[in-house]
Structure 1
Amino acid sequence: MIFAAILAGGIGSRMGGTDTPKQFLTLGNKPVIIHTIEKFVINEKIDKIIVLTPKNFINHTNHLIEEYILYKDDIIVIEGGRTRNDTLMNGIDYINEHYGIDEDSIILTHDSVRPFVTHRIIEDNIDAAKKYGACDTVIPATDTIVESINGKTIESIPVRDYYYQGQTPQSFNIKKLFNLINSLTEEESNILTDACKIFALKDEDVYLVEGELTNIKITYPYDLKLANTILEDIHD
């Protein structure tokens, strides 16, 4: 089976001026998270969509899905975790308990606040995860990358040609991901906040899927303004 995990566990502390998590803010005429879920609902290859939210937003999320999404039978809303990895494990545990995990099971993990993920990106993630076992959506770095250890002076300026900016989805063979997460030491678990980093730490290859400049993550107030502009361009 192919699963999509929409990671909506954040509280949006960097958005400022609102107590509402950023994934529930309005973009155009509906919440950001609904725009995101819709991109996965229309993909016929995805069997189940698992939305992971803070516990106190589960009912609210279900109400939004009822209100906005026509084909909602394959969407399940469950509680996320304290960290991104905890949230991901909650999703994997749910899949294992209710559907089982076989050698071919695939999971696409996606930020709920990236509402402009394209059908092509999703398709490429499915194909790469099936073929390679792990993939990450990226775009080439366009700005000069500066490394500073102390946050005050430049340590190095790497060659930009070799660097990419990470997006999502990040997609995996579920059994492989599950086994790697369970092999982490407590120290490793505490410092790893990204599933692809787990593969890298364990010397497992993660293949690149080409992203899009418009596949932005809504983190700050400016991002929401930009997202509304992108949405207007799409509808024109």
Structure 2
Amino acid sequence: MIFGVILAGGIGSRMGNVEKPKQFLTVGEKPIIIHTIEKFYVNDSFEKLIVLCPAQWVSHTKNLVKKYLKDEDRIVVIEGGSTRNETIMNSIRYIEENYTLDDDTIIVTHDSVRPFVTYRIIEDNIRYALEYGACDTVIPATDTIVESDDSNIIASVPDRSKMYQGQTPQSFKAKKLKDMYNALTEEEKEILTDAAKIFVIKGEPVYLVEGEVFNIKITYPYDLRVAETLIEGDK
């Protein structure tokens, strides 16, 4: 079975002084999180869409789903964890408790504040996860990347042709992801930035899915203005 996992656990601190997490801000007359869920909802491959958010926002998110999507059967809203990866583990726990978690169970994990993901990107993630076990959506780096050890002086300038910018979705065979995460040391867990790094730490291949430049993550106030423009352009 294949599950969509929408990660809405962030509080949006980089958005500035706003009254709610950024995923609940309105863009194009709808909350950002609803735009994102809709992109997954139209894909019939998903057995269930699991939306994970902070405990105090679960009820609000359920109300949004009821208002805009009117489907409380195919979409479930549950509490996320203290970190991104713990949130993903909560989704796997839900699958284990309510369905069968086996070697072929796939999760397609996606940031709730990336509402411009395409049907093609989602389909490619499903296909690559089924075939290879793990994949990450990326775009080639267009700017020169510099590395600094102390935030003051350049330590190295990597070959840009080998550099990519990570996006989401990131998709995995859920049981394998869970088993590898549980096998990590506490020190390894502390250096995690996302779920794909779990596979990398354990020496497992993560295949690249071609993303899109417009598959932006809404993080800063400027991104809201860009998002409004993109949505207007889709009308």
TM category, shorter: over 0.9
**When the two structures are aligned, how many residues end up with a matched partner?**
235
Identify the residue that residue 12 of structure 2 maps to in structure 1: 12
User: How far did residue 72 of structure 1 move?
Assistant: 4.0
Moved more, 113-122 or 10-19: 10-19
Q: TM-score, normalised by structure 1?
A: 0.98
Which secondary structure does the structure 2 equivalent of 1:45 belong to? coil
Identify the residue that residue 200 of structure 1 maps to in structure 2: 200
User: How far did residue 175 of structure 1 move?
Assistant: 1.2
Alpha-carbon separation, structure 1, partners of 2:8 and 2:85:
12
- Identical counterparts, % of pairs: 64
Identify the residue that residue 27 of structure 1 maps to in structure 2: 27
Identify the residue that residue 139 of structure 2 maps to in structure 1: 139
* 1:1-236 paired onto structure 2 within 5 Å: 1-235=1-235
2:86 is aligned with what amino acid? D
2:69 is aligned with what amino acid? I
Alpha-carbon separation, structure 1, partners of 2:142 and 2:217:
17
Alpha-carbon separation, structure 1, partners of 2:74 and 2:151:
46
Alpha-carbon separation, structure 1, partners of 2:111 and 2:72:
19
Which secondary structure does the structure 2 equivalent of 1:14 belong to? helix
Alpha-carbon separation, structure 2, partners of 1:40 and 1:73:
14
Q: Contact conserved, 1:114 with 1:218, CA < 8 A, in 2?
A: yes
RMSD: 0.8
Q: Contact conserved, 1:25 with 1:32, CA < 8 A, in 2?
A: yes
1:121-179 deviations in Å (ceiling 9; x for gaps): 00000000000000000000000001011000111111100000000000001111111
Q: Contact conserved, 1:83 with 1:193, CA < 8 A, in 2?
A: no
1:154 is aligned with what amino acid? I
User: How far did residue 231 of structure 1 move?
Assistant: 0.6
Alpha-carbon separation, structure 1, partners of 2:186 and 2:161:
35
1:81 is aligned with what amino acid? G
Alpha-carbon separation, structure 2, partners of 1:14 and 1:73:
33
Alpha-carbon separation, structure 2, partners of 1:127 and 1:203:
21
Alpha-carbon separation, structure 2, partners of 1:28 and 1:50:
24
Q: Following superposition, which runs of at least 4 residues in structure 1 exceed 3 angstroms of deviation? A: none
User: How far did residue 17 of structure 1 move?
Assistant: 2.1
Mark the runs of 5 or more structure 1 residues left unpaired by the alignment: none
Moved more, 157-166 or 181-190: 181-190
Q: Contact conserved, 2:108 with 2:172, CA < 8 A, in 1?
A: yes
Q: Contact conserved, 2:65 with 2:71, CA < 8 A, in 1?
A: no
User: How far did residue 103 of structure 1 move?
Assistant: 1.6
Alpha-carbon separation, structure 1, partners of 2:72 and 2:138:
29
1:2-21 deviations in Å (ceiling 9; x for gaps): 00110000000000021310
1:112 is aligned with what amino acid? S
2:73 is aligned with what amino acid? D
User: How far did residue 29 of structure 1 move?
Assistant: 0.5
